[in-house]
Amino acid sequence: MEHQFNRDKQLAGKKWVRLFMKRQPSLSLRQPEATSYARATGFNKPAVQKFFSLLTEIVDKYKLDGSRIYNCDESGMKTVQQKHSKVIAVKGKKQVGSMTSSERGKNVTVVCCTNACGHYIPPVFIFGRKRMNPVFMDYAPPSSKGFVQDNGWMTMTLFKSYLEHFVEMVKPSKERPVCLILDGHSSHTRSLEALDYAKSNGVILLSLPPHTTHKLQPLDVGFFKPLQTYYDRYISRWLRSHPGRTFTEYQVTGAFNEAFGKAATVATAVNAFAKCGIWPLNADIFSDADYSAAETTNQPQEYGQGGPVEQEAVHCEEPVPDDITEAVEVLAPANEDIASGTLAYIKR
């Protein structure tokens, strides 16, 4: 059937598009979100099924329930707002500004953790400094801890310290272990000292496949976005209440404390775990449409050249032990699991 579009340009006109959208009320014009090639190929059916296979085996073997399945992750809290609230302005005004402390600001890493029943672990703050100043923690959530690192990043050494904090709060044991789900950052999976400590204290570490945290990590799926929104609102309110002053690292814990109190609800945690299919355990939570991006970009890749097995970008200054594959216990061949980011450190 011959179309009625412009014969010269072979394109539909604006009138046709307008009438088409009018005839299709279920459609709307949307701004697409940027999706990296790594995420498109990383979130594929084999990798996700392998993760759920490991999780199912752990849940069945140790008879876990939602109260014993945790997820931890880091997020950066900057001293400037990432987003600004909308304001009403006069029509025709070219620019509408909103006050910030600086152009870029400093970053403080915060480690959050919760289980599938909504029990949140007191967070840990990592400041980019040489020495710790106790004043930084004056308004932090109760029982929180603060560490320092030159760049403010998570490292192997700090992850061991975080595990000690986790064990102190959760009190797992070899007789009643817990599962801690986390991403494949090298600081989480390449520290023999941290892995040994987790094993001896009944903590089962299960790593997510690379580039799947936007779908499989509960904190990324349902918690960090509202947390960041409340945090940004606090900064904007603080700046209006303190004219002539800038928001610095000394105010970060106070802002986070208020945002954490509003975002860390039972419903948020329960819904996030359910949406990821982790608890209640549902390996079929994702449809074929969710894997369509990986299918359309499915082509042979050299190892380490951007294919599905490439690890997440990391900031880690500590050397990786060569004998890591010999020191960990996994549910499948060690080399394959570590390469794909699906690492389970299990108490035998």
Q: Is residue 90 part of a domain?
A: no
Cβ(221)–Cβ(195) under 8 Å?
A: no
Q: How confident is the model at residue 339 (pLDDT cuts 50, 70, 90)?
A: very low
Q: Which residue has the tokens 């209440």?
A: 241
Q: Return the higher-pLDDT residue of 250 and 5.
A: 250
Q: What is the DSSP letter of 91?
A: T
Domain count for the chain, please give it.
1
Q: What is the mean pLDDT of residues 303-325?
A: 40
Domain residue limits at 313: 37-71+155-345
pLDDT in the model for residue 42: 75
Query: Phi and psi at residue 113, in whole multiples of 5°?
Result: -155, 140
Q: Is residue 327 part of a domain?
A: yes
Q: Return the higher-pLDDT residue of 104 and 58.
A: 58
pLDDT in the model for residue 292: 83
For the whole model, what pTM was predicted?
0.77
In this predicted structure, the answer to whether residue 173 has a pLDDT above a threshold of 50 is yes
Q: Is residue 173 part of a domain?
A: yes
Q: What is the mean pLDDT of residues 133-150?
A: 96
- The number of beta carbons lying within 10 Å of the beta carbon of residue 297 is 13
pLDDT single digits (tens) 248-262 = 999 999 999 999 999
Q: Is residue 179 part of a domain?
A: yes
What 3-state DSSP class applies to 122? strand
In this predicted structure, the answer to whether residue 72 has a pLDDT above a threshold of 60 is yes
In this predicted structure, the answer to whether residue 90 has a pLDDT above a threshold of 90 is no
How far CA 254 is from CA of 45, 104, 230, 234, 257, in Å, comes to 42, 20, 12, 9, 5
CA–CA dist 306, 191 (Å, integer): 24
Q: Which token pair is 191?
A: 């520290």
Q: What is the mean pLDDT of residues 154-178?
A: 97
In this predicted structure, the answer to whether residue 185 has a pLDDT above a threshold of 80 is yes
Cβ(342)–Cβ(51) under 8 Å?
A: yes
DSSP for 125-180?
A: EEESSSS--GGGGTTSPTT-EEEE-TTS---HHHHHHHHHHHHHHH---SSS-EEE
Q: How confident is the model at residue 323 (pLDDT cuts 50, 70, 90)?
A: very low
Taking each helix axis from N to C end, the angle separating 224-241 and 249-263, rounded to the nearest 10 degrees, works out to: 130
Summary mean pLDDT of the chain: 82
